[in-house]
Amino acid sequence: VVVAVVPAKGIFRSLDRGATWADISEGLKSLGGTKDFRQLVFSPSQPDALLLLNGYGIITTQDGGATWEAVSLITPPKSTKIYVVAVSPTNGDEITYGTANQLYRTVNGGQTWSFRQKMPFNAQPSALAIDPTNPSVFYLGSRVVESK
């Protein structure tokens, strides 16, 4: 399976190594239709599950893109910019996301969230990964945003 995200166009999936492509972003229209794609995350423990980070928030599919639904977040949709999202390599219901200054975590697919960590610096998060051998270890990358 190959999945391609094309900014402002859509999300496309190929089941034949790129010979043909299907647009799997049609179901996003009911969720605000935003094509402000920021990050697409695969769930290692669930082969057909994807998480999409976009201008709306975090949207998920459990069936390879046939249907999409919004993940209930601790921050309301479109209320704050979410910069990064990661899924536990061992449990697709464990999701962590980062805003400008905080990390939030759920262990039940978004039913409840906890404040994970306040950022120890004043920089914009740019990458978040969870250690595949120890899911309690997070790696966070950032970039300095210069104000003009």
In tens, the pLDDT along 91-144 reads 999 999 988 888 899 999 999 998 866 777 777 889 999 999 998 898 989 877
SS3 assignment, position 112: coil
Beta bridge mates, 53 = 39, 58
- The residue-averaged pLDDT of 33-38 equals 76
pLDDT at 9: 86
Q: Which has more confidence, 33 or 140?
A: 140
Q: What is the pLDDT of residues 61-99, one digit of tens each?
A: 999 999 999 898 988 777 788 999 999 999 999 999 988
Q: Convert 93-111 to b/e letters by CB count within 10 Å (16 or more is b).
A: bbbbbbbeebbbbbeeebe
Q: Convert 45-56 to b/e letters by CB count within 10 Å (16 or more is b).
A: eeeebbbbbbeb
> For residue 10, what is the enclosing H or E element?
strand 10-14
pLDDT at 44: 84
User: How would residue 11 be classed by pLDDT, with cut points 50, 70 and 90?
Assistant: very high
Q: Beta strand 138-143 with 58-61: parallel, antiparallel or unpaired?
A: unpaired
pLDDT at 147: 63
pTM of the predicted structure, to 2 decimals: 0.85
